[in-house]
Amino acid sequence: MFAVLALASAVLYGAADFIGGMAARRADTIPVVAVSQAAGLILVLLMLTMLGTAMPGRHDLLWSGAAGIAGGVGVALLYRALAVGLMSLVAPVTAVCSVAVPVVIAVAFLRERPATLAGAGIAIALAAIVLVSQAGESTAAPSEGAAGGLRRRGLGLALASGVSIGLFFLALARTSAAAGLWPLLVARACSVALFVAFGLASGRSLQLPRPIAAIAIAGGILDMLANLLYLLAARQGPLTLVVTLSALYPASTVMLAWTVLHERLTPRQWAGVALALGAIVLIVRG
């Protein structure tokens, strides 16, 4: 069951990124992210009023706060990396780092030992993430010197973003099942406060035109639902497998761009989708 939940979270994470990217093309990134995060906060508040019977302990609050800060920083760094770097470099580096950090920690410190088939599936999934995130060559490529500068800046930000997102996955998974949905509420409240404070400190207006706000709100709702499914999966299955399946979200984004925007997929991206399917089979069987 955890595999189904993790895969569903990957689909929703990818859809949320796709929708958020559409909104960010039309408005400043910070208000888009702030509005989408606030929409997720309202959703989890509503869910908590209907399903909230558990109470978090101090341990849960600390891990939830860490998840919110790490996730907020990761999103901010990711958007900045996409703005100043090369997407074909930023996307796979961020996604692979977001898997590698919790997997390494789970194996080294939490004593998780994936079965042989599952371990092979994790390795194939990492390759799938890299391939499916590859974009085609730009028709207006920058000069060699400019491209080198973009790669250096984008790579550093992508690494930092991937580590932050990986820490978000890890911290959220460390909360207890007895805490119910409170970890999602605390984490999102921290990330919303972070973005609102940053927006106000930088003098940005957090208001958006209604059409763009609606898109951002939709992305925030999908992102929160993805977080919910990931949290449920992490409470049922090994972190190494759950985070790997959830991190296949670039495949969802790419497929949405193909079907909705009619973007052409490269042979590498199709190969990545095929590898992702194979990785899922191995992980589930393992």
User: What is the tens place of the pLDDT at every residue in 95-110?
Assistant: 788 888 888 888 878 7
Q: What's CA 76's distance to the chain center, in Å?
A: 12
26, pLDDT greater than 90 = no
Of all residues in the chain, what percent carry a pLDDT higher than 70?
Answer: 86
148 pLDDT band, cuts 50/70/90, is low
- Least confident residue range of 197-206, 219-228, 256-265: 256-265
Q: What is the pLDDT of residue 151?
A: 54
From CA 129, how far away is CA 247, in angstroms rounded?
Answer: 8
Q: Rounded distance, CA 239 to CA 169, Å?
A: 9
Name the token pair of 234.
């992490």
Between CA 262 and CA 206 the distance in angstroms is 31
pLDDT in tens, 111-122: 777 777 777 877
Where is mean pLDDT largest: 24-38, 126-140, 186-200?
A: 186-200
The larger pLDDT score, comparing residue 234 to residue 29, is at: 234
With vertex at residue 78, the alpha carbon angle to CA 75 and CA 83, rounded to the nearest 5 degrees, is: 130
Tokens of residue 51, six digits: 């399903």
Residue 271 domain boundaries: 2-136+145-285
Q: Which of 68-77, 149-158, 218-227 has the lowest mean pLDDT?
A: 149-158
Q: Is the pLDDT of residue 89 over 90?
A: no
Could you tell me the pTM of the whole model? Answer: 0.83
Of residues 141, 75, 130, 159, the one with CA closest to residue 266 = 130
**What DSSP element (H or E) covers 222?**
helix 210-234
* Rounded Cα distance, 41 and 134, in Å: 32
Domains of the chain: total: 1
Nearest to 91 by CA among 267, 253, 263, 256: 253
Q: What digits encode the pLDDT tens for the residues 155-209?
A: 788 889 889 999 999 999 999 988 989 999 999 999 999 888 888 888 888 889 9
pLDDT of residue 262 exceeding 70, the answer is yes
Q: Which residue has the higher pLDDT, 221 or 28?
A: 221
* Mean pLDDT for all residues in the chain: 82
In angstroms, the CA 146 to CA 191 distance is 33
Pure H helices in 182-209: 182-201
The Cα–Cα gap between 122 and 276 comes to 10
Is residue 27's pLDDT more than 80? Answer: yes
| Cβ-proximal residues to 38 (8 Å cutoff; 6+ apart), any chain | 192, 220
Residue 37 tokens read as: 């995060």
pLDDT band at 140 (very low <50, low <70, confident <90, very high): very low
Across residues 5-32, what is the average pLDDT? 86
